[in-house]
Every structure is written in structure tokens, then in C-alpha cells.
Structure 1
Amino acid sequence: MGSGFALSGLQLQPNHLLFSSRNFTTLLPASFTNSRHLPLLKLQNQPSLISSCVQVNSTVSQGTALSDICSTETYELADINWDDLGFGLVPTDYMYVTKCSKNGKFSKGDLQRFGNIELSPSSGVLNYGQGLFEGLKAYRKQDGSILLFRPEENALRMRTGAERMCMPAPTVEQFVEAVKMTVLANKRWVPPPGKGSLYIRPLLMGSGAVLGLAPAPEYTFLIYVSPVGNYFKEGLAPINLVVENEFHRATPGGTGGIKTIGNYASVLKAQSAAKAKGYSDVLYLDSVHKKYLEEVSSCNVFVVKGTTISTPAIKGTILPGITRKSIIDVACNLGFQVEERLVSVDELLDADEVFCTGTAVVVSPVGSITYLGERVSYGKTGVGAVSQQLFSSLTSLQMGLAEDKLGWTVELS
């Protein structure tokens, strides 16, 4: 027998620690106990996520059952008001961190206590904006297990963005495994069913020091999580948008089609002005003709006319949203005709219904659009029938309330 051995499907190595709780078993380096990692102690006045641990060494025999070496303890949810969650940061227990080596490959990575990170003042992300992020969610089912929604799609999108930004990126497998590890380590922060979700924020950034304009010499991949409620304060209620006619979110040949950090800073001015006037958010037009829809600050947009649903085509200036992609498939399965094409602002104003999609909002119905000072309202009964149907269909999949025939969810237990 070599230095490693199998334990109930888990490959163990000497000088590693095995952690186990009711539904969670993982293997971590013994160095996890050093000062920069979360101590192997119960958090003060909070139940521990980890019920037991053992030092793995060569004396543990092959085929030993988990029940022989790990005690079982029921974990408890974090002590917060789940009914009062907004879309804001709630500090949790762990974050995942790894750095890329000189050959462009990322190390295995580990879990660290959630907290501040150290960066050089000359880091690529601070000086030249060399950074990307992703967003996905974890939901708790009625049986206590946890579902991820299409995490491999986020991994693929990050790799596409990294190529455009001249950055290395984790493999799809490493990305997904890191997400799983981070969620399971923070499972007490996943809201109860129907109370929200655990928002997962992977970050990829140029952390190495660079003075002249060039790719950074080192990169950091980091994941942190936070329990969240609704993105818009209205919840699943109509939002009010204003069409922006002066500022533009993206231009052809730019970076509008990837999830780089700079895309979001550029919308803050118009968004802040719109919110000061009572609007929920801003809808942007294309920068060339100034008449075709692009997207909202952080959401894709859909226009409904009869049984046809239209959405702006992905041509490099619009983010290829994973929720957008999922809604298109769900809508087609429900019998709607979905068109991805140029959608003019005139079609928007003549629509029967309008809604937005995104990881944070899922599906957000639009109650009114204001364009050049004129306001057009949609429907008189609140949430439109199409928006409601699509929202219910998608969230039922995400939350495990409906059978996942599409293979989109990943169950963690």
C-alpha cells in the first residue's frame, strides 16, 4: 500500500486532517490549523460546522469506515434573522484562496478564515483593472441538502473572460470543486428553504506587482459567500426602469461580453442618478445606433409580445447570462417562441410584458419604462403572467421543488 489510501471513496494522504459533520466530509492539509486558517474550535456562541477531526497517518487501515473514526453531530443554522435578508454582505466563516504558479497553473488551494486580503499597491487588479468575477447561488432543500445551479457554466464563462483579459484561469473541475468546498464549509449560512439563498462570489485577479502596463506576474482565485434575499427591494414585484440615452455600458470590440470588474464601475453614475429620481435601475442602448436594447446594469432584458419572447442577441457587448440562457431553454420547453436578435426601443415600448434576468434577481418583472421623458406601463395586475410562469419554473428547479430533467443542479449533502 502506498502513502495514500481510500476511505469510503475519499483518498486520504498522511499528515492530512479528516473533518466530518452530519452531511459533510472533507480532507484538508494539517496546515489548516495554523494561525491564518480558521481554528479547529467552535465559534464563540455559535454551533460548529465541523463535528470532529482525526489526524490521518499510516496507521489507519485501508477500508476503515467513517463511522469508526468520526463522530456525528447535528449542525445548526447561523443565528441571524432569515426573514430580514437583503442583498448585502453578511460575513461568513470561510473563504477559498489559491494562487497561480509561474507556469500558469493554480495550486490546490485551501480554506481560510473570511477576512481582508493583502495586495501590493502595484498589483495588476488595482492599477490596471485586471480582474473578473462570477456570481452563482446555493439553495437549501426541504431535506436539508444543498443545491448548486449550473456551476460549470460559471467556470466556463470565467475562462472565456480570462482569455480576453490575458489571465490564467482555474480549470472547470477546479472551479467547481472549489465552489463545493466553500459552500459546504459555510453550510450553516445557507438560508432555510424559501428564505433566500447563499450567494457565491468567485474572484479572479491580478495580484502580482506590475508597474508598466502588462499582465500581472501572479494571480489569485478567491471565493467567498454571503446569505442573501432579494436583489431589488421590491422582491418579485414590478420594477421601474429608465432608458439611458447618453451613457453607454459597452462598445463593440470592448469587454461588455465578459464579467470584468470594470464593466460595473462604468454604470454607477447613470444608475445613481436614476435611483435618485425613483427608478429601480437603468436600461442601456447600443452605442452605435442608440436604438437597440443592450442590458440593464446587472441584468439581461426580455420583451414579450403575444407568445413570442425576444431578447438582445449576444454579439460581444452583452453579458451571456447563465440565468438568461436557462430562461431561454425553460421558455422554449413551455411552448414560447424565443428570438435572440436586435430588439429596438420601439418594440420595447410596444411590448405586452418586459422582464429582466440575472443570478441576483433570477426573474424581475418590469412595471414601467421611461424613455425620453415618456413613461410606458405594463399590465395592471402586478407581476405579468409570463414573468410569473418563468420565475416559478426556474426557481422550482433551483430549489429542488421540481424534477431536474435537464441536469442543471448539483446536489451537495
Structure 2
Amino acid sequence: MSYESINWDKLGFDYIKTDKRFLSHWRDGAWQKGTLTEDNVLHISEGSTALHYGQQCFEGLKAYRCKDGSINLFRPDQNAMRMQRSCGRLLMPQVPTEDFIEACKEVVRANERFIPPYGSGGALYLRPFVIGVGDNIGVRTAPEFIFSIFCIPVGAYFKGGLKPHNFLISGYDRAAPNGTGAAKVGGNYAASLMPGSEAKKANFADCIYLDPQTHSKIEEVGSANFFAITHDNEFVTPKSPSVLPGITRLSLIDLAQSRLGLKVIEGDVFIDNLKDFKEAGACGTAAVITPIGSITYKDEPHVFYSETDVGPITQKLYNELTGVQSGDIEAPAGWIVKV
């Protein structure tokens, strides 16, 4: 798709080649000075560990056009730190936070024309990643690495925008106990392809995974985190070593407490106790907030607030979060980095 053919009002979550991307190589024990390139094709060794052993991780964050024309990056320091943790888990060199944020800024500036207009509901999605490359065949850490960031303009992740979607409890596991569930690595997502596809074939938006040890507790929603609102207006979200620590989840925890006055509980969310919740949602950088209309478990659907309307607290959380991101609502200290 060319820039001229973009319909800003109908953007989905699809790859669009933009003008420039950032590229840096790790060789001889250090990251080389990165550069912007127009080439969207990576040239890597056939023996790269990323291809054979899954030695790679990635991130996702967004840049937003504000009403005054300025550009907001939302909490890039948190993405930098999460990528460092993922790299550490996979024995890859970490990208320093300052370098990560500066590379994000460079990519946004170089592709500014692709940032969706203020008020369109869209954003510029950035995809940083680190992969193991170089000539290798043994099961060991790579001799070289690539750190790159590309970007695409995006609209709503789930078609139809902010409206409830229905989800299915999966019989598969997303990640192993004490595995890589808390790292943002490609293998977790590869494992989710088949269960996600099966859920969509059955007319669900995606599947929800239970904890891999007991299969009694909700952990994650496909490619997003889970949260729910109790009848006593408590914000509940799963806490588990297998759950990816989402930046949107972290932000909603803060906003629920500081802006909406809700009590926040991070803990076990038992699948047999869905009746305790009046609202539920999926949250993540791509999805932002997706209200959950119903969850089907063992062929029995449980409906939350409504299968057609967004619950009032979920709506308030969405308004607060997107208002902060777009600059319409004052952000907590340190959340916004101007490009």
C-alpha cells in the first residue's frame, strides 16, 4: 500500500511499508552506531539463531499526534526495560534505555507523515526487535545480533472499534511454567497461532489461556492482558510468573487507582468465579482496551456487562488512557516523551 492510498478512517492493524527504519548491529561485544535505512528487507545468515532456535524478542509501542500538532511517545522507557528483560532471558545483549528511546524518536521523525491525524483514533505503531544472527549451527547464543525498529500506521486492532467481543477458553497452554511467558519472545506467539485460529473459526475474537499448571486460573487473552471489574468496583488482573507484564496493563492499574479511585487486586482469577465480575476486558498496546462481552468455557458462555454495550468503568478507563496518550488529559509524571 502506498502513502497516497491510505484511508485514515479505515486503518486496521496491517503491515504498510513506511519510509525509514532503524538498524543497528552488535558485533565484537558492542552495539554499533545505528542508522536509518529505506530497505525493509533484512539480510541475515542462514545459520542465524533467530531462524532455528527462536533467539529473538520484540516490543510494541505507539506514537500519537496531539491536537497542537506535537507528537507523543507513550512510556517508551517501560518498553525499553521490558525488552532488556526479554534479551536477558534469551542471552542477548541489552539495548540501553536512552539508545532505545532515541532510536524510537528517529523512526517517528523519519516517518512523521504516516502518523494518523489527531482525532482519527489511529496511531503510529513502532515494532522494535532484537534477533540473533551470524553464521552458526549449534544450540548456543548467536555471534552477532540485530536491533531494528520499523513502524506502521494503525487503527483498531479488533474490527469495529470499542465494542464487546466474545472469547473462548483455550485447552492449549500459552507458555510453560517457569518458561518464557513473562518475556516478549516470538515463541510464545507461535504457540498461540493454532489455538487463536481455532477460536476465530468458531466465531470468537480470540482465545483466553489458563495457567499451565492447574488450568483453573485465567492468565492471558491471546495477545493481550486480562482485567475484570468486580461488583464492588475492584480492578482485578492476573498475577503470574507466566504473564507478560504489559505496559497498558501497568498503566491501567495506575489509572484505576489514581484517577477512578478503584481498589486494584493483582492475583488469581479463577475461571469458576466469573460470576464475581460485572465487566471484563483485554488490554495491550495493539488492542488498547477491548471489552469482553462473554467468555465461553466448556461450551457454556458467561456474559459480563453486555455482549453489545461497553461497561461504564471499562469506558472510563478507555477514555482516560486514550486521553493521556493523545495529550487531551494530563499524564502522570514521566509517561509522555515528546518527539
Query: Under TM normalisation by the shorter chain, which class is it?
Result: over 0.9
Render the CA deviation track for 1:373-399: whole Å, top value 9, x for unaligned.
001112246001111000000100000
Return the letter of the residue paired with 1:393: E
Is this contact kept in 2: 1:166–1:215, CA < 8 A?
A: yes
The aligned counterpart of 2:248 is: 323
Q: Distance in 2 between matches of 1:205 and 1:408?
A: 28
Residue 79 of structure 1 deviates from its aligned partner by 5.6
Render the CA deviation track for 1:203-246: whole Å, top value 9, x for unaligned.
100011211111000000000000000000131000100011x2
Q: Distance in 2 between matches of 1:363 and 1:297?
A: 13
The aligned counterpart of 2:319 is: 392
The aligned counterpart of 2:169 is: 243
Whether 1:307 and 2:239 are equivalent positions in the alignment is: no
The aligned counterpart of 1:207 is: 133
Is this contact kept in 1: 2:274–2:302, CA < 8 A?
A: no
Residue 349 of structure 1 deviates from its aligned partner by 4.2
- Aligned runs of 1:262-277 on 2, under 5 Å? 262-277=187-202
Is this contact kept in 2: 1:97–1:109, CA < 8 A?
A: yes
Aligned with residue 87 of structure 2, among 142, 162, 168: 162
Q: Cα gap change, 1:229/1:353 in structure 2, threshold over 3 Å: closer, same or farther?
A: same
Residue 320 of structure 1 deviates from its aligned partner by 0.2
Is this contact kept in 1: 2:27–2:143, CA < 8 A?
A: no
Residue 342 of structure 1 deviates from its aligned partner by 1.0
Aligned with residue 91 of structure 1, among 17, 20, 27: 17
Is this contact kept in 2: 1:255–1:316, CA < 8 A?
A: no
Whether 1:115 and 2:43 are equivalent positions in the alignment is: no
Residue 365 of structure 1 deviates from its aligned partner by 0.5
Is this contact kept in 2: 1:303–1:348, CA < 8 A?
A: no
Whether 1:138 and 2:63 are equivalent positions in the alignment is: yes
Give the structure, 1 or 2, with the largest relative contact order (CA under 8 Å, sep 6 or more): 2
- Aligned runs of 1:250-265 on 2, under 5 Å? 250-265=175-190
Q: Distance in 1 between matches of 2:295 and 2:5?
A: 40
Residue 348 of structure 1 deviates from its aligned partner by 2.4
Q: Distance in 2 between matches of 1:136 and 1:173?
A: 16
Is this contact kept in 2: 1:92–1:114, CA < 8 A?
A: no
Return the letter of the residue paired with 2:6: I
Identify the structure with the greater helix proportion. 2
- Aligned runs of 1:5-404 on 2, under 5 Å? 80-103=6-29, 105-195=30-120, 196-244=122-170, 246-305=171-230, 306-313=232-239, 315-333=240-258, 334-380=260-306, 382-404=309-331
Is this contact kept in 2: 1:137–1:148, CA < 8 A?
A: yes
Q: Percent same amino acid among aligned pairs? A: 44
Return the letter of the residue paired with 2:196: Q
Number of residue pairs the alignment of both structures matches: 334
Is this contact kept in 2: 1:136–1:149, CA < 8 A?
A: yes
Return the letter of the residue paired with 2:129: L
Render the CA deviation track for 1:277-332: whole Å, top value 9, x for unaligned.
1000000001111101110111100121121111111x320000000000000000
Is this contact kept in 1: 2:132–2:146, CA < 8 A?
A: yes
TM-score, length basis structure 1: 0.79
Q: Cα gap change, 1:183/1:376 in structure 2, threshold over 3 Å: closer, same or farther?
A: same
TM-score, length basis structure 2: 0.96
User: Gaps (5+ residues) in structure 2?
Assistant: none
Is this contact kept in 2: 1:134–1:154, CA < 8 A?
A: yes
Is this contact kept in 2: 1:191–1:198, CA < 8 A?
A: yes
Q: Distance in 2 between matches of 1:354 and 1:142?
A: 31
User: Gaps (5+ residues) in structure 1?
Assistant: 1-45, 47-76
Is this contact kept in 2: 1:238–1:364, CA < 8 A?
A: yes
Q: Cα gap change, 1:119/1:129 in structure 2, threshold over 3 Å: closer, same or farther?
A: same
Return the letter of the residue paired with 2:198: A
Is this contact kept in 2: 1:249–1:267, CA < 8 A?
A: yes
Is this contact kept in 2: 1:331–1:338, CA < 8 A?
A: yes
Return the letter of the residue paired with 1:406: A
Is this contact kept in 2: 1:78–1:188, CA < 8 A?
A: no
Residue 142 of structure 1 deviates from its aligned partner by 1.5
Q: Distance in 2 between matches of 1:133 and 1:214?
A: 20
Return the letter of the residue paired with 2:66: K
